[in-house]
Structure 1
Amino acid sequence: MEQIHLFPYDPAWPNIYRTEEALVRSCLIRPPLLIEHMGSTAVPGLAAKPIVDIIVLVDELEHGRAAIPALETTGYSYWSANPDTTKLYLVKGLPPAPRRTHHLHIYHHAGEVARHLLFRDHLRANPEAVKAYLALKQDLATRFRDDREAYSKHKTAFIDALVLSLGGPPRRTDWNP
């Protein structure tokens, strides 16, 4: 079981993202419509699990699916049984590696990507929102240290509420690629 540990913001995370972005781009069959650094490691000053999240928007999900074999040769593992049917999800750093290092989220629905980037950009521009989110994450990491699903579920509720309050779209749960 993988425990949840938050680490202070590391100024190396943007460079780690840029290096990985180039690698991911080289594996994609067609150029993505967008590729961005998202999640807590993309917000200066925010403590995080040291896992760099990358979000990719493709024009057709099949173009993302076609890149899976190349991505797997670079150390990514594709989660084919992912219950979230709104995206393709790959992880770098599964056992026997010592820890996860990257999460790759591939979407073809622009609204889902916009939600994530709206949240990231709001945090980047609002120190008070960063403080509130950090306090929540610290509390959840303490309460759910050994339960990644509960930790993520509670964070998602916060994110969804904030995105809606900013006028962003609701999270799609009905979309099936």
Structure 2
Amino acid sequence: MADGQPVVIVSYDPEWPRQFEAEQAALEQVLAPWLEGGVHHVGSTSIPGLAAKPVLDMIAGVRQLETARAAFAPLAELGYVYAPHRPRTHHFVKPAEPWSAHTHHLHLTEPGSDLWVERLAFRDALRADPVLAAEYESLKLDLARGAAAGYTIAKRPFVTRVLAAAGIEIPAASPR
């Protein structure tokens, strides 16, 4: 979401898992030469019952980040646009513009990377604990009423707390 754009949170859509499965099949086929660790549904749309921004967040493990650059062209054929914004990952969005219209986010990273471990652990913690998921949903709904620019940053203390409970420490300077 770009600065100035409102944060739109919608009720859980039971179609999200099916949409992910269809996208996962296409991505696994296109990414097969580089894939290691699979394609996973992460983010709020991966948590049953959780209100979320209507964006499928996915993470795909690749053997080597540098050699996975060769996947950029095949991903473009699926409508993904490279949108670099953090080190040690290749980030893609679909469709390209406007930012508020994105329906898919895809991160290519190496299995075991900080991003890989954190995204999967956070998802798994919320899936395992409905009370924790409800707390996160309440926070997201409250934050969505404020400025879009601070939405992700304002979620960090909650994410950090959940990951710490899972034994994962995020460095203070981490751009997560």
Same fold (TM over 0.5): yes
Give matches, 1:152-171, under 5 Å.
152-170=152-170
SS at match of 1:89: strand
Identity %: 34
Does 2:85 match 1:78?
no
Aligned residues: 170
SS at match of 1:105: strand
SS at match of 1:110: coil
Give yes or no for contact 1:6–1:50 (8 Å, CA) kept in 2.
Answer: yes
Give yes or no for contact 1:39–1:120 (8 Å, CA) kept in 2.
Answer: yes
Find 1:95's aligned residue among 94, 97, 100.
Answer: 97
Q: CA deviation at 1:64?
A: 2.5
Q: Which runs of 5+ in 2 are unaligned?
A: none
Tell me the residue number matched to 1:35.
39
Letter in 1 for 2:154: H
Q: CA deviation at 1:158?
A: 1.6
Tell me the residue number matched to 1:51.
55
Give yes or no for contact 2:36–2:111 (8 Å, CA) kept in 1.
Answer: no
RMSD of aligned C-alpha atoms? 2.2
| Whole-Å separation in 2 of the counterparts to 1:109 and 1:16 | 23
| Whole-Å separation in 2 of the counterparts to 1:98 and 1:121 | 27
Change in Cα spacing, 1:142 to 1:23, as seen in structure 2 (3 Å) is: same
Q: CA deviation at 1:22?
A: 1.3
Give yes or no for contact 2:60–2:107 (8 Å, CA) kept in 1.
Answer: yes
Greater mean alpha carbon deviation, residues 5-14 or residues 103-112: 103-112
Q: Which runs of 5+ in 1 are unaligned?
A: none
Change in Cα spacing, 1:152 to 1:97, as seen in structure 2 (3 Å) is: closer
Q: CA deviation at 1:169?
A: 4.1
Give yes or no for contact 1:86–1:172 (8 Å, CA) kept in 2.
Answer: no
Q: CA deviation at 1:127?
A: 1.0
SS at match of 1:32: strand
Q: CA deviation at 1:155?
A: 1.6
TM-score (normalizing by structure 1): 0.86
Greater mean alpha carbon deviation, residues 58-67 or residues 25-34: 25-34
Q: CA deviation at 1:69?
A: 1.0
Give matches, 1:1-177, under 5 Å.
1-28=4-31, 29-80=33-84, 82=85, 84-95=86-97, 99-112=101-114, 113-144=116-147, 147=148, 149-170=149-170
Give yes or no for contact 2:56–2:103 (8 Å, CA) kept in 1.
Answer: yes
Letter in 2 for 1:117: L
Give yes or no for contact 2:35–2:63 (8 Å, CA) kept in 1.
Answer: no
